[in-house]
Structure 1
Amino acid sequence: MKSEYDFSQTESGKFYHSDAKFHDPIYLEPDVEEFLTKMAEHKKIDIQVLVNEWLRNTMKLI
């Protein structure tokens, strides 16, 4: 690593996007992940699709 860097030619905010959306990662316990993975494989869909379907159905019940 250099002892000094020259940032005089950089552009401030070049990569900033005010409309950027960030997604929160969700960490599943191993038993839950195993169950959901098996269900998604059985239905031949991605686990993300399965989880979103289940959560939307639960939201409707609430």
Structure 2
Amino acid sequence: MKAEYDFSKGERGKFYRADAVFSLPIYLAPDVSEFLREVAARKRVDVQDLVNDWLRKDMELVRSAES
């Protein structure tokens, strides 16, 4: 690494995008991850789709319990 860097010609916000969408990284415990992979394989779906479906169902339950 250099001792000093010259940012005098730098452009503030050059790569900033107001409409950028970031995915939420979620780190699962190994046993949970393995379980999800097994269930997804049995159902022949992607883990992401399986988890999204389960969470949507949980969201419906929470919403119905709140009303």
TM over 0.5, yes or no? yes
- Shifted more, 17-26 versus 49-58: the winner is 17-26
- Residue deviations 1:6-59 (CA, integer Å, cap 9, x gap): 212221110111222222211222221111100111111110110000000111
TM-score (norm 1): 0.83
CA distance in 2, matches of 1:42, 1:12: 50
What SS is found at the alignment partner of 2:35? helix
Alignment gaps of 5+ in structure 1: none
- Between the aligned partners of 1:3 and 1:36, the Cα distance in structure 2 is 47
**Aligned CA-pair RMSD:** 1.3
Determine what percentage of the aligned residue pairs are the same residue: 60
